[in-house]
Amino acid sequence: MAHGLDMEIQFLPGVGPKRAELLRKELAVETVGDLLRLYPFRYIDKSSIVRICDARPDMAYLQIRAKVTRAELYGSGEAVSEGAAVKFNTIRRMSVWVSDGTGDMEMVFFKGIKWMHEKLKPGTEFIFFGKPTAFNGRMNMVHPEVDAAPTSAGPAVSGPPMGAACMTGVYPSTERLKNAGVTGKVMNKMMEAALERGLQYTEESLPEYIMKQCGLVPLHFALRNIHFPKDMISLEKSKYRLKFEELFYLQLSLLKQKYVRSRSDQGIMMPKVGEAFNLCYNALPFPLTGAQKRVITEIRNDMKSGHQMNRLLQGDVGSGKTMVAVLTALIAIGNGFQACIMAPTEVLAQQHYKNIQKFLAPTGVRSALLTGSSKTSERREIHAGLEDGSIGIIVGTHALIEDNVIFRNLGLAIIDEQHRFGVEQRSRLWRKASCGAPPHVLVMTATPIPRTLAMTLYGDLDVSVIDELPPGRKPVQTIHATEGKRPAMYRFMKDEIAKGRQIFIVYPLINETEKLDYQSLEAGAEEIMQKFPFPDYKTAVVHGKQLNDVKKFNMDAFAEGRADILVATSVIEVGVDVPNASVMIIESAERFGLSQLHQLRGRVGRGSEKSYCILMTGHKMSKESRHRIELMCATENGFELAEEDMKMRGPGDLEGTQQSGLPISLNIASLAKDGLILNAARDCADAVLKEDPTLTSDRNQMLRKELRKEKYQVKDYSKIS
């Protein structure tokens, strides 16, 4: 049997094999160490006793001290008379009446009746703790916690019970745990036992110099007071210490990769911009924004530094990332290297290729498109052009990482929406470098990521942000409408089409297999075709169940202006650029997340005309859905929306980040709420590594040991070679 923190929880008093198995399945808690790191998510104040006459049903929880005056047992609706022989298997409910001299209250029990009946005898005094409710004009508590009243002298209605902590932790739970009798009280008892057994084996995990610099309490103090706080100050200090520790080690693991790489990785030297860059730059139909210029300067500095560039480029929908990608690719060309631009879908690859060709026209640089549906003859020609170096820029999908794609001298890899590519897929692309050094890497995303999440998901990449829109882009007016406004919306659509504009209508598709979603899309498309009949109006329909050829035909019809209306599922979220589309209608908008709504809205407003986004919802909406819709109508700033989305949904749930997830699981820190602690932890980790990049000094021995633990073996998201 293991001892200390590795001891299985079944050996703790009051747990046993059955409960241990349930805790393993429901909360992933197997050892004493796991249990100690299961933290309360809120606390109940048990420091005061409330008089019954002051109790109100709107109070969250309260504690009363009262004497039992009478108890009644009920079978199926009938009260069981006093003195009768009681068959407890027929009893459904027990009501216990208590009084504290200021009023009476009813305590109601549906479980554990026999035990409570023997315990709660008239004339005995107890502390009752629970949620007060009103029923038939009377105050009651259902299944309160019951503790013996302390026998200390003094008034019965003031002060905490002797020996009680002022606050009690409330732990994560599930229905199965509650049904198996693992109540809050049981969890607290288990935690007491875990602290008694495990705390003596708990070693400090942060060096003393860091604790002093950052004002952190010792780990022993933090673990005791996070579970059983002595007072509010002790609780706050403990929370800060434990959150700091989690975020510090997370940042240390990511930044260490970055430090080691920046010292050891030889990158390709690209000292000049070259003629192609200047020809393209001078022919641009509009000037670059200040943000685009700043980002290109950052990229230039990376590419001529002698180290491999690993940079994340974040830019809201329509901020001009493609332009930056083209100019970056032309820097590689100007230094005698090839560049590839990899997109997650054929639609997006085709879109990039079309846009890039316009920019490349004045430069004479040869480009090509390689996707899964490229014809054999095209493939042969492209493969030859890549091998002999005559193709300078290749745009493509996963087809680029096939073994038979060989580059003459790949110097730059640009990856769009990187979370859609697996680690193994990206590593195969790096291995195509044929000049002895890995290619420079630029990762692009249109999903605005809150700064705290970017520092965690991409902590080992340098981050650039394009935070201003190009001139000429007009804001999109966002309107919330319910079913009653549908006739007015149809009239508005006809007016827009009469002006020569086009319209998107998007339906939610939460799951590819959900029949109801497809049925509502089909019913919606049918209604549109009735209200907007052919030949005066042309409607195209696109969804995931169509064959690729059909999907492409319908998408092209809309993109090329042959269709006025495109009815689609959210497949159009990424990569459809139709400057003539001025209206985006999102059906059942309450079913989309904020980030997704924002991505969809970004499909319009790409031309110079006034554009609109109409969010159609039902009348009944949850509080969260209503808040999302209001935020969408209030702001177009994707980063503001992403911050809000993370606060509402939690970081692991954000659109575009589910696949990559967080590098390690956080038990107590929250990226949504603990941004200040994250900054402090990152600054501290940065300072440690500046002084000792490989953590070899004696005073950092503890840090080195902690980082060897399996949970910190974070995959390097930026470079796998």
Summary mean pLDDT of the chain: 82
What pLDDT score was predicted for residue 427?
64
The rounded distance, in Å, linking the Cα atoms of 445 and 454 is 11
- Contact yes or no for 190/171 (Cβ under 8 A): no
- For the cut 80, the answer to whether the pLDDT of residue 385 exceeds it is yes
Q: Note the pLDDT tens digit of each residue in 177-216.
A: 878 888 888 898 999 999 999 999 999 999 999 999 999 9
Beta strands 138-142 and 310-315, pairing class: unpaired
Half-sphere exposure of 382 (CA within 13 A, CB side): 20
Please indicate whether residue 575 or residue 391 has the higher confidence score (pLDDT).
Answer: 391
How distant, in Å, are the alpha carbons of 124, 228, 470, 589 from that of 632?
Answer: 59, 42, 21, 10
What pLDDT score was predicted for residue 79?
63
Q: Which residue type occupies 112?
A: G
The rounded distance, in Å, linking the Cα atoms of 106 and 592 is 45
The rounded distance, in Å, linking the Cα atoms of 561 and 569 is 19
The pLDDT-based confidence of 319 (bands split at 50, 70, 90) is: confident
Q: Which residue type occupies 433?
A: A
The rounded distance, in Å, linking the Cα atoms of 60 and 131 is 6
The rounded distance, in Å, linking the Cα atoms of 219 and 225 is 10
**Structure tokens belonging to residue 4:** 């200390």
- For the cut 80, the answer to whether the pLDDT of residue 707 exceeds it is yes
- Contact yes or no for 505/568 (Cβ under 8 A): yes
Q: Note the pLDDT tens digit of each residue in 498-537.
A: 999 999 999 886 454 566 666 777 888 889 999 999 889 9
Could you identify the residue written with the tokens 């208590």? 98
What pLDDT score was predicted for residue 607?
72
β-bridge partners, 292: none
The rounded distance, in Å, linking the Cα atoms of 545 and 530 is 23
- Contact yes or no for 73/117 (Cβ under 8 A): yes
**Secondary structure of 212-258 in HEC code, one letter for each residue:** HHHCCCCHHHHHHHHHCCCCHHHHHHHHHHHHHHHHHHHHHHHHHHH
- For the cut 90, the answer to whether the pLDDT of residue 669 exceeds it is no
Which phi and psi angles does 615 have, rounded to 5°?
-100, 105
**Assigned CATH topology for domain 4-43+172-201:** DNA polymerase; domain 1 (1.10.150)
**Structure tokens belonging to residue 180:** 């198996």
Most confident of 2-11, 231-240, 440-449: 231-240
For 268, which DSSP code?
Answer: P
Q: Note the pLDDT tens digit of each residue in 387-423.
A: 999 999 999 988 887 878 888 999 998 988 755 555 5
What pLDDT score was predicted for residue 518?
65
**Domain 47-164, architecture per CATH:** Beta Barrel (2.40)
CATH topology agreement for domains 275-305+319-445 and 476-635: yes
What is the average per-residue pLDDT within 97-117? 90
**Structure tokens belonging to residue 181:** 């009798």
The rounded distance, in Å, linking the Cα atoms of 547 and 609 is 33
The pLDDT-based confidence of 280 (bands split at 50, 70, 90) is: very high
Q: Three-state DSSP class for 561?
A: coil
The pLDDT-based confidence of 333 (bands split at 50, 70, 90) is: very high
**Assigned CATH topology for domain 476-635:** Rossmann fold (3.40.50)
What pLDDT score was predicted for residue 130?
86
- What is the arrangement of strands in the sheet containing 565-569, beginning at the earlier edge strand? 476-482, 611-617, 581-586, 502-507, 565-569, 539-542
What pLDDT score was predicted for residue 457?
65
**Domain 275-305+319-445, architecture per CATH:** 3-Layer(aba) Sandwich (3.40)
What pLDDT score was predicted for residue 646?
67
Q: Note the pLDDT tens digit of each residue in 142-179.
A: 988 888 887 654 443 333 343 345 678 888 888 888 78
- For the cut 60, the answer to whether the pLDDT of residue 652 exceeds it is no
The answer for 389, left when phi > 0, alpha when psi is -120 to 50, beta otherwise, is left
- Contact yes or no for 595/645 (Cβ under 8 A): yes
- Contact yes or no for 177/23 (Cβ under 8 A): yes
- For the cut 50, the answer to whether the pLDDT of residue 643 exceeds it is yes
Domain extent listing, the chain:
4-43+172-201, 47-164, 275-305+319-445, 476-635
- Residue 621, Cα to own-chain centre: how many angstroms? 22
- For the cut 90, the answer to whether the pLDDT of residue 579 exceeds it is no
What pLDDT score was predicted for residue 420?
52
The string of DSSP codes covering 331-397 is HHHHTT-EEEEE-SSHHHHHHHHHHHHHHHTTTT--EEEE-TT--HHHHHHHHHHHHHT---EEEES
The rounded distance, in Å, linking the Cα atoms of 321 and 348 is 13
Residue closest to 581 by CA, chosen among 616, 545, 605: 605
Give the whole-number percent of the chain exceeding pLDDT 70.
83
The pLDDT-based confidence of 340 (bands split at 50, 70, 90) is: very high
Taking residue 62's Cβ as centre, other Cβ atoms within 10 Å add up to: 23
The pLDDT-based confidence of 564 (bands split at 50, 70, 90) is: very high
**Mean pLDDT lowest among 55-64, 432-441, 592-601, 712-721:** 712-721
Burial (CB count within 10 angstroms: exposed 0-12, middle 13-18, buried 19+), residue 80: middle
Could you identify the residue written with the tokens 């290109």? 296
Most confident of 159-168, 269-278, 342-351, 569-578: 269-278
Could you identify the residue written with the tokens 């502390």? 127
- For the cut 90, the answer to whether the pLDDT of residue 223 exceeds it is yes
Q: Note the pLDDT tens digit of each residue in 9-32.
A: 999 988 989 999 999 988 889 999
Structure-derived torsion over alpha carbons of residues 355, 359, 361, 367, reported in degrees to the nearest 10: -60
Q: Three-state DSSP class for 614?
A: strand
What pLDDT score was predicted for residue 671?
73
- Contact yes or no for 221/238 (Cβ under 8 A): yes
- Contact yes or no for 604/577 (Cβ under 8 A): no
**Structure tokens belonging to residue 567:** 């009815």
Provide long-range contacts, Cβ within 8 A and 24+ apart, for 546-555.
548/346, 548/373, 552/346, 555/347
The rounded distance, in Å, linking the Cα atoms of 130 and 144 is 5
What is the average per-residue pLDDT within 702-721? 64
